[in-house]
Amino acid sequence: MIPPAIRRLDTGSAPYDLWSLAVEDLAALPDCLSPAEKIQSQRFRHRRDHDRFLMRRLLVRHVLSLYAPLPPEAWEFTPNHFGRPELDPPVPSLAFNLTSSGNLALCAITTAGEIGVDLEDTHDDTQAALDLDLLVPGVLAPSERRSFDSLPPASRPAAFFRYWVLKESYAKARGLGLSLNVSQVAFPVEVPGLDEAGLALRATIPLALDPDPARWVFRTCRPTPCHIAAVAFRSRAFGRRRSLETFLLRATK
């Protein structure tokens, strides 16, 4: 059964699912943290960091248990070299990624390839205080920079966050996090209405960064009026693609 506290977002015909958990629903979700996660959760100095950690960890445990026959408390994770948690032992063909911002967490999950997700609360005080002049040169590609610079100043923060979540979704799908130079990856400018329609976007990714860039597709969405999210997805090169529904073991029962 799907816990009522978690919500499946509409991803249309995309080959992945996207689940969300809001901070106000945290208490309604049965506790399933590992002893190590419980200790880690007590180390946060700020309440919001504590809550976001709890949201991510509880969400991923409950979501994984919808796709494979293990209870939420039984999942074990090992971080890769760049900090991305991987299932231990691995579950072949199941890939997931997590993000949180403001009062929301998302978990993207697929059985068809690699996946990364990023979320930003564009109304959050810390985001509003970001110095875009400082960030833009290290984040935007030259083509993005040209369209960004032509925007009226009031439109620039929203445009920056859209580029940011797209780029970070790719960095997270690769499992590389901040070690990847995201200014090398270029996305098309936003066409109002098209991004929201869930259409797949393509990025320009140099071969030196990614020997197989052609199968990456990206989508943005707005889980709430304050949040923008992006998912990066790359289908597996070969092999049978199985429907997500065949994996969503318990949700349909």
Ligand X SMILES: CC(C)(COP(=O)(O)OP(=O)(O)OC[C@H]1O[C@@H](n2cnc3c(N)ncnc32)[C@H](O)[C@@H]1OP(=O)(O)O)[C@@H](O)C(=O)NCCC(=O)NCCS
Q: Which is nearer to ligand X, 89 or 138 (CB)?
A: 138
Q: Which H helix or E strand runs over 79? A: strand 77-79
Helices (H), 120-196: 125-128, 132-139, 142-149, 156-173
Integer Rg of the chain from CA: 18
Backbone angles phi, psi at 124, to 5 degrees: -65, 140
Q: Which one among 15, 66, 67, 84 touches ligand X, defined by CB under 6 A?
A: 84
Q: Which of positions 48-77 make contact with ligand X (CB under 6 A)?
A: 53, 56-57
- Read off the DSSP letter of residue 230: E
Quick check: 190 binds ligand X (CB under 6 A)? no
Residue 82 in the binding site for ligand X (CB under 6 A): yes
Count CA within 13 A, CB hemisphere, residue 33: 17
Beta-strand relationship, 113-121 and 104-110: unpaired
Instruction: Determine if 178 is a binding residue for ligand X (CB under 6 A).
Output: yes
Closest by CA to 157, choosing from 121, 191, 199, 181, is: 121
Q: Is 234 in the site for ligand X (CB under 6 A)?
A: no
Chosen residue from 25, 144, 168, 190 binding ligand X by CB under 6 A: 168
- Considering the rule CB under 6 A, would residue 219 count as an interface residue with ligand X? no
Least distance from C-beta 242 to ligand X, angstroms? 24
* Subset of residues 119 to 138 that bind ligand X, contact rule: CB under 6 A: 130
Torsion of CA 100, 149, 130, 22, to 10 degrees: -20
Among 7, 124, 177, 226, binds ligand X (CB under 6 A): 177
Among 167, 172, 219, 227, binds ligand X (CB under 6 A): 172
Contact yes or no for 112/239 (Cβ under 8 A): no
Q: Which of residues 175, 185, 229, 234 is near ligand X by CB under 6 A?
A: 175
Task: Tell me which of 3, 72, 85, 113 binds ligand X, using CB under 6 A.
Answer: 85
Q: Which is nearer to ligand X, 72 or 85 (CB)?
A: 85
Residue ranges that bind ligand X, judged by CB under 6 A: 53, 56-57, 82-85, 97-100, 118, 130, 164, 168, 171-172, 175-178
